[in-house]
Chains A and B, each alone.
Chain A
Amino acid sequence: DAGVIQSPRHEVTEMGQEVTLRCKPISGHDYLFWYRQTMMRGLELLIYFNNNVPIDDSGMPEDRFSAKMPNASFSTLKIQPSEPRDSAVYFCASSGGMNTEAFFGQGTRLTVV
């Protein structure tokens, strides 16, 4: 398996634009997590899914953020409209199956100007 795959790796967008981050979890994993990392706040859990169903989205900062998991192999995190304070590295992780540990993707570095 190629691991957790995130795209794009880097995204630069203007304030007010819609941004969509994508994640492909490891096949067979039934948990998927979205995190945001900034210098100020460290690694924050935004939302997680179990079997494609959102379980806890209490970490989602505002209504501008939304996440979906239409099937077991794909998830998106959308920010609409984006703001400069959304600039961060966004990580996706998955776990489950034979693994109790979480495997992380390489992250998407988002810059909103």
Chain B
Amino acid sequence: DAKTTQPPSMDCAEGRAANLPCNHSTISGNEYVYWYRQIHSQGPQYIIHGLKNNETNEMASLIITEDRKSSTLILPHATLRDTAVYYCIVRVAISGGSYIPTFGRGTSLIVHP
């Protein structure tokens, strides 16, 4: 599986967009990019995933570069409740579309007033 690199920490002002980068330069053509976050004392929570096209849902947007070597998770209007550790995962789908989430250290995002 492709290795990912994320900055250990970032901060963002409340109401501003939070842009969290992830490098995955060894990604293969059939590997998806998934993002999870973990709010303190809770289990990780799925945010969004994509293969090559940009994706958007009610939580965030995912921008994947054309060469797929990096991606950015965008929280368009960060709130204090978005303070969490954000994990970028690159995984090959296994049978039935499932995959095995394997986590690195992630990015600790602090949203301040």
Contacts and interface: CB of A to CB of B under 8 A. Distances in A.
Given A91-B43, A107-B43, A100 B97 contact: yes
Interface in A35-61: 35, 42-43, 45, 48, 56
B75 to A, nearest CB: 18
B101 A31 contact: no
A105 B38 CA distance: 12
Given A42-B103, A42-B104, A101-B34, A95 B98 contact: yes
A106 B104 contact: no
Interface residues of A, number: 22
Given A43-B103, A100-B49, A101-B34, A106 B42 contact: yes
Contact of A104 (B43, B96, B102, B104): B43
Interface of A: 4, 30-31, 33, 35, 42-43, 45, 48, 56, 91, 93, 95-96, 100-107
